[in-house]
Chain A
Amino acid sequence: MDLVEYERLVKKAMGMGADFCDVRVVTSDGFRLNLLQSQTRDMASSTSSGAGIRVLLGGAWGFASTSKLTDTALEDCCTIAVKLAKNCASRVKQADKFKIPDSLEFKSGHHVVSTRGDYEQTPHEEKINAILALDKRTRASSPAVKNCAVYYHDNLVNTLLVNSAGARVEKSIGCISGVIEVTAIEGGSAEEGQEVFSHVGCWNTIDEEALDVLADSAAAQAVRLLSAKPCPSGKFTIVVDNKLGGLFVHEAIGHACEADELLSGNSVLEGKLGKKVGNEVVTITDDGSVLGRFGYSPVDSEGIPGCRTVLIEKGVVTAFMHDLETATRMGAEPTGNGRAQSYDSVPIVRMTNTSLERGDWTRDELIADTRSGIYCQNWVYGYTEPEKGTFLFKCKEARIIEGGRLTNLVKGAALSGKILNILASIDAIADDFGESGGMCGKKGQSVGTSDGAPHFRVHNVVVGGSEE
């Protein structure tokens, strides 16, 4: 089947009373490999395909998906999606009803996009050898390094999308992601260093030297942490590095700017549009159109082109990220943030490439200007409780700042606080920028995103280390 056939399914749904319908057909090729204790484990090459049909009717969505791409299965899917929507529509209150506006047609169009590289061109053997070389490299870096694990995954996802608002999309996006974990053991204590890698495109476009740098960094971190002391606890001024800063922007601000979180009452930014929530040095954006970053989304899963959205400008909330539904309900323009993990998931509001914009300090100036504090680097994990407006981030390593100089290495720092308090307490931002990509999970779906930030400084952060 092709776009014309899928258009027929859209027409069928519309003929059954739908106000809006889209059909997404996804086929993908993928390869994964886990390298554990110098052994290839769980090596898998797969192809997958399926279709999802979504119907809006009387203010309710019905969605049906199938892994069978036969005419009968697709016809059934279409009928079920309409039935589901009709069933729910009878329960929708008048005030909650909405329709995707006809004007959307002007935003949609026929988009043909693809990323660099040829998936078929690189034999899997080349990737396997490169990953085995990373293992060898880390093990040779120090006698303390006892183990290296690499988790590698790549895929090429082809999507065909048609909808009743005029979108026609043919998209082919390749991506690579993974984690390098290095364990160092000495004198009975063990530490782990970790780096993630991500790339948009196929293997024949990746920078293999960059992987070497990351492997060296993970190994060096593991060895370094062997001599780290527990982090002190209390309230501190902290300087945040690019990686931890990126996580903060993503978890604490990015999710709060997803319009579906506002509509469901799960955002600390509800009622804050146009209001000042942060220091005026703070500007935060999301931009799916940036090709070089892992959240690249030239056209989203609803046929809307990715674009740059300024979420917070000079401390003032200026916009939110939208999919078709939230944009319609909130009277805004869709921003190309309606993304679905696969054919069997409905598009929901997701970040793409989210960034804290640069300031005019240097990293060294930030540290030199801090009399007493902690320089926090990289992260182990982090989460927010949006409706409570709180966060917790665990950083991988940190250094004490004394008299404007970096001193002792510490570990186990857990940063916690209220999101809005922190936004107001950022007083200085550096002119550098670093970003990293990874998979972001929400409502059971995982999509690629990239988070970036310059170094920045925050006052009065609660640090819950293990040493009083």
Chain B
Amino acid sequence: MSLRFSHDDLDLEPKVNAITAIIQGYQDIKHYEIYCSAQSVISIELEKDAIKTAEFSKDIGIGVRLANGHGQSAFSYTSDLSAGSMQQMVKRIVALVGKSTRDKDFHSFAEKTPVTKLPASKLFDKRIEGLEIEDATSLVFDTLERARGVGDPRIYSVNIDLGAGSEKVLVLNSNGVDAREQYTSIDLSCSVTSKSGRTMTSDSDFQAGRALGMVSAGVGESAARRSLATLGKVRIKTGVYPIILSPRAAAAVIGSTIEEAADAELLQQQKSFLSSEAGERIAPEFLSIVDNAKSTRYSCLNSRSFDGEGTGSTTTKIVDEGVFRSGLYDSYTAGKGGTKNTANASRASYRSLPGISPSNMIIQADKAHVAKLDEIVAGIKLGILFDDTGDSPDVASGDFSGLISTGFLIQAGAIARPVSLAAFGINFRDLLNGIELVGDDVKDVAGTVCPSILLKGVQISSEIG
């Protein structure tokens, strides 16, 4: 048993031809889009040092969107690829199309664009496709061994999750789009709980990529060291502190916020704090944020030759030298806004309609504003290394408050004790404008590529008992 599909599983061509013929029997339907995906996934869960569950799933199906000449559209999908079922599906969609509202902003599904194929070796790894359950189990236990191998009795429990998948995608539409690609992916996460006296704390580490070599059992050791480092927390005084966002925190705070705020749907609905900032400076001149689906560096986790609607991948400068240049668009929002489609339609499977999301988001600074992380830390008398939070800003206003769930005090130029939960409050505009330097420690955090980031001063408003 492996993640390989049988020839029969992947022979979707006859099904697609059959559906196209059925659709073409309906005169009122002017636009169609067919999306097929075949996914197989192996996952293993280890809980509190003990193997818990191994899972295997296989899911193959077709999703169809139809629209008439008035912009009325609807969607359906099926995993039953029999002729009768596909006929029923199309009939169901056609009935719904007539009941939707007329949409003058809908012009068509994605236009045919050039698709530059990325090297298959960056997207697909035969070693993942051929991964046997025994190999996957061994990797999980090696990871456990590395976590326990740290040899600290304060390590209380170790949880590990491994997921590996293989996917084939095919998308075509009435504008002549016909795109297909195969991907593999693997992710390995390890969470370690540590206990000292009555204090318990936990932290985790995570690796992911499209090739087997992008994950390693070493994530167990780094998770254990992270967890142990968060024991012995100290309280800090309320005040304004310089903050270093670690790459993990920068991805969570800046990456996730820009991802949401640059979503063209929110921009067009005036629900993003960036809605009125087109062409305006929103960050220091040395900072740029780019969405690059064609990246062949780092994990390539979100790299692809085309998006969920079959539009050829592009590189989009969201923030260019501090100026907000572009949102992230799919075919609908680009048509509505009369702007370029940035190929950011994404789909989880044939069951889902396309939504807008970034591909690989890269946060970078010019060379003059990159410093060695050690030097940045050394320059801070009293500050905080902010490593994790579960909070996100109100994307409409940019107001951002929450908890530093993992953070460390920086004292006299060195990283000292972990800080007890502290609340922070800042507007996201001020946060961006408060960026002074970035570190040389660029990391790929699940598709967001970013360094540590030094912020001028953030209000730490209270402490928790």
Contacts and interface: CB of A to CB of B under 8 A. Distances in A.
A83 interface: yes
Interface stretch (A170-178, A410-418, A426-434): A410-418
A43 B101 CA distance: 10
A272 to B, nearest CB: 13
B193 A265 contact: yes
Interface string A32-74: 0000111111111111111000000000111111111100000
Given A67-B61, A233-B462, A392-B390, A43 B73 contact: yes
Contacts of A460: 465
Contacts of B55: 62-65, 84, 346
B24 interface: no
Interface string B408-426: 0000000000000101010
Interface stretch (A10-18, A90-98, A100-108, A161-169): A90-98
B396 A264 contact: no
B399 A412 contact: yes
A412 B93 contact: no
Interface string B40-54: 000010011011111
B74 A67 contact: no
Interface string A123-166: 01100100010000000000000110100000000000000000
A60 B270 contact: no
Given A45-B76, A388-B202, A66 B425 contact: no
Contacts of B57: 64-66, 344
B376 to A, nearest CB: 27
A88 interface: yes
A63 B137 contact: no
A387 interface: yes
B315 interface: no
A49 B79 contact: yes
A414 B423 contact: yes
Contacts of B425: 233, 464-466
A238 to B, nearest CB: 14
A274 interface: no
Nearest to A27: B80
A468 interface: yes
Contacts of B134: 87
A38 B105 CA distance: 12
Given A416-B421, A464-B462, A466-B401, A128 B99 contact: yes
A233 B101 CA distance: 46
B14 to A, nearest CB: 16
A451 interface: no
Interface centre among A44, A62, A460 (most CB of B within 10 A): A44
B75 A418 contact: no
B139 interface: no
B200 interface: yes
A263 B47 contact: yes
A387 B103 contact: no
A48 B425 CA distance: 45
B137 A464 contact: no
B79 A68 contact: yes
B464 A45 contact: no
Contacts of A392: 390-391, 402-403
Interface centre among B55, B73, B425, B463 (most CB of A within 10 A): B55
Contact of B464 (A125, A380, A417): A417
B54 A88 contact: yes
B60 A385 contact: no
B405 to A, nearest CB: 6
Contacts of B464: 390, 416-418, 462
B359 interface: no
A161 B344 CA distance: 40
Given A38-B101, A263-B47, A416 B403 contact: yes
A36 B100 CA distance: 12
A76 to B, nearest CB: 9
A421 B465 contact: yes
A266 interface: yes
Contact of B271 (A183, A466, A468): A183
B298 interface: no
B461 interface: yes
Contact of A61 (B54, B133, B396, B465): B54
B21 interface: no
B286 interface: no
A9 B92 CA distance: 34
Interface in B342-390: 351, 353, 390
A462 B402 CA distance: 12
A385 B48 CA distance: 17
B96 A124 contact: yes
Contacts of B105: 39
Contacts of A417: 464-465
A367 interface: no
A244 interface: no
Contacts of B133: 83-84, 87
B269 interface: yes
Contact of A416 (B58, B156, B423): B423
A253 to B, nearest CB: 18
A44 B354 CA distance: 12
Contacts of A206: none
A285 B92 CA distance: 43
A128 B74 CA distance: 13
Given A39-B101, A44-B76, A462-B423, A67 B270 contact: no
Given A45-B93, A416-B421, A464-B461, A36 B269 contact: yes
Given A44-B76, A128-B99, A416-B403, A344 B59 contact: yes
A223 interface: no
A361 to B, nearest CB: 26
A72 to B, nearest CB: 10
A119 interface: no
A147 B272 CA distance: 14
A388 B201 contact: yes
B397 interface: yes
A64 B42 CA distance: 9
A403 interface: no
A376 interface: no
Nearest to B100: A40
A237 to B, nearest CB: 15
B51 A47 contact: no
Contacts of B61: 67
A132 B102 CA distance: 13
Contacts of B54: 60-63, 84-85, 87-88
Contacts of A36: 265, 269
Contacts of A418: 464-465
A405 B75 CA distance: 52
B200 A190 contact: no
A234 interface: yes
A385 B96 contact: no
A265 B461 contact: no
Contact of B351 (A48, A346, A462, A466): A48
A197 interface: no
Contacts of B60: 67-68
Given A47-B88, A416-B403, 16 more contacts: A39-B101, A39-B103, A45-B93, A47-B78, A60-B52, A62-B55, A64-B55, A64-B57, A67-B59, A84-B55, A88-B137, A190-B396, A233-B462, A263-B47, A414-B423, A464-B461
The 4 closest A-B pairs by CB, nearest first: A464-B423, A67-B79, A84-B54, A61-B53
Interface of A: 36-50, 60-69, 80-81, 83-85, 87-88, 91-93, 96, 124-125, 128, 132, 146-147, 149, 183, 185, 189-190, 192, 233-234, 263-266, 344, 346, 380, 383, 385, 387-390, 392, 412, 414, 416-418, 421, 460, 462, 464-466, 468
23 contacts: A36-B269, A40-B101, A42-B353, A47-B80, A48-B78, A62-B54, A63-B56, A65-B55, A67-B58, A91-B141, A189-B397, A233-B461, A234-B462, A263-B48, A264-B47, A265-B48, A344-B57, A380-B394, A390-B421, A421-B465, A464-B403, A464-B462, A466-B401
